[in-house]
Every structure is written in C-alpha cells, then in structure tokens.
Structure 1
C-alpha cells in the first residue's frame, strides 16, 4: 500500500512553530510542494527532498489552483513520500478541499497535518486573547475576499454578531471593509489591530479604530497581514494612544 500524500500546515512562518509531526514528515519526504509564505528555514528540514515552489499567495503572481492540483497528482505518481506544505493551517482558507479531492479522484490517499493559523500567532504576538471573560465569548474567522468565479457571501452580518473577528486577506480591501461595516452600524470607535508577519521576528502591529482602517489599504506592507476587530483590543489601543500623548 502506498504512502498517503500529506498536506501539512507550516504555521504562520517561524520554522519552529511547525508541529513535531509535520517536521518529521518533512524530514522523510521525497518531494515537497510549498507555498510562497513558507520560510526558507523550514525547507532546511527537508534537504533530501525535491522542492517545488507553487507560489500560492493572495494578490500576488501565483500558480493557478488547477495547476497545483495537477502537480500534486503528478508528484504522487512519481514519488513515494509527497508533502504539500501550506502556510498556516491547510483547513482554514487554505484551499485544502480542492487538493484533497484531486488526489482522491486520482486514486491517492491524503492526510492532513494541522498547523498554527495566523490568527493564533497574531494573538500571541499582541499578548491579547481572542477571548476574554466578560468581553469576548466567541471568535469569527472570516474573509471578505471573493475569488474568481465565486459567489459573494454575507460576511458582514456574522462580523456584527461576533465578539472578536479575524479577517484574513483583508488589508487590500481595508477601505471597502470599513465602509461596509460602518454602513451596517458597527461603531467607528471599534478597536482594530492590524498585524503583519504574525509569528515572525519581523512582526509589526498597528492598533487603531475602525474609522481609521481605510488608510491601511494604502500602506506598502511587505508581509502577509490580518485584521483583528473587537473590544478585546481596546487596551492595546488605549496604551498606544497614551504612548503617543507622552511624546506629543
């Protein structure tokens, strides 16, 4: 019986945030197809493997999903141990379903190894829990982005109902997101935290209010960024404002 193809979550970036199981499978792999967000330090875990860059990154030049599916099936046909290394967690905005279906339709088994998603790394970097007693009892992971050929969905209503929201792939749509949420009645004073390069030494954070969010779309951010909204970020915002007043 052949080995299953493993879809492994690389985590938010830092090489030592991958799971032990994920690292072990990388060390045994014959071929690794990896995303653009995977750090070179993590690829050092698999010097024995054939490395294939499939360059999947939102709003950047990247390999179309159908070609990734084909390359994955071709690799499974050629190599005994194949790993598909995906940034964050494969099962959260990672298009894992398409790849799992492609593999299984081609007759290959596939298994998923979870990874740390960017929301958890950003929360750790900020030192702010996504949930907090008496403030936030639920967390929503959402995206406002609509891919080519996809139908739009109602992402606004769930955000209005959530205590804490993490918006993936939202920085380039920051102005439209802010306009939609403000228009739907979310207070302009709602605390927002923008986190770039979560889980990496180069992590940067910007606390602000929802009314200030439109400006973010004009920033030239080098790394992947996510938006976090909710009252749990109020203290971070107040601390940042106090710091600015001290130097005024």
Structure 2
C-alpha cells in the first residue's frame, strides 16, 4: 500500500468519487491532502516545460509561480474548509494538511482554533505562493505552535537563501519536524553539518527530479527520511510511482518510502 504525503484538492483529487477511484487504482491507503492554490479545484497536470530541468530549477519555477499567484489566479472559496469536508466524508483515506500563510493575520489569529477543529495531520507552507520569510517572527511563532501540537510542517522553500535560513532555524529548533517538498536544497542539507533527525524529504516533482536524484537523497539522508508524494495534480501519479520502482530498491526500503516513513511521521494507526 501507498501513502501519498503530498497532494492538493484539485484535478484527480478534487472530489470524493475521484479520490476513491484514484486510491483504488494505485493502491493508495492514505492521502496527505491540502488545498490547491486559491482553492481552484479544476487545476490539472501542467504541460512539460520545453527545456531540460534539474532539481535546482525549482528556484526559477518558484518565481513564475509567485507571479501567477499574485496576478493571474482568482480565489475560489476557503480551501482548508473544503479539505476538511473531504476528510469528513472520507476519514479512512484523507489526512488534511492545514494550509497556513504566516503573513495572513486571519490565518495566524485562528491557527490554534483551526488546529483543534480541523484536526490536521500536519501544516502546509508554500513560499512560492506566500512570500513569508523563514527568519520572520511569524514563521517562528507558527513553528512553535506546530511543535507544541506535535505536527510536522510540510514546506515548499522558495530559494537557496531561504534554504540556508531554514538550516539555521533547524539547528536552533531541533524539535521542529519538517517535510521538505520536492527534495529542494538537498545539496545544501547534506553538507550543512546540521542534525537532520527530524527532517524528511518528499520525492514529488515533474521532470525536475530523476530516479538518480532520489537515490542520492537516500544515500545522503537514509531511506528512513524519504517520503513518497505525488504533488497531484501538478505531476502524474504514474510517473511518481514508476520513478521509485525503477530504482530497483530492496522491498523493505521501498516499503519505508512508499508507506512506513509517512505512517510513523503522521502517527497513522
């Protein structure tokens, strides 16, 4: 069975029926689900970029994403509420991740209330969409709250500069638990000398990440710190699974990446 730790309530994961169909097709046991940008449920898998991509090309893509979020995407409802409703209808499948913008006063004022009412499995932060700074007081407060609730924080990091800030933060806050989206900054993490005992790396991406990049992450951080995600609908589920299978890893390592690491991280019974 598979736990997809990183997905959005859009495209193939936008409705109760589509969630059930996809889960049955791929043997997905649990889905770590957060809202899509501005709760646009009709988003689909984007076209492939017409140039060679590498893991660090995410920094360039983040600039385009931030531009799109500011100027081209129109909001369509309250995403966290929608995800919570999906969980209420599919409690055996959906694990909500509460999307928080640390710069949104409403988000921060209602943070603990939402944690109690939505009962998420984690918190989702996205610097490409929400331009908060890791050295900001808002970020520190949010992580303190998440740590007190024993919740992992899934973070999409915007730039190398912010990765370095995150490393300093991890060094000073060793009890905080982070899931780093898209294997971002693995080169910086692996040479930092900072203890990464509470840090996990999500495998999802389009063509930016190849199987060899995942293999290098396993070697650098240990397979116990790699978790499987699809980033649906922004990358195809088939491709995400095939990339892991193509590594020809021992079954016990694949089981940890596909399921056991996330099961422990999210306290899945």
TM-score of the pair, normalised by structure 1: 0.32
Higher strand content, 1 or 2: 1
Q: Which has the higher contact order (CA 8 A, sep 6+)?
A: 2
Higher radius of gyration, 1 or 2: 1
Higher helix content, 1 or 2: 2
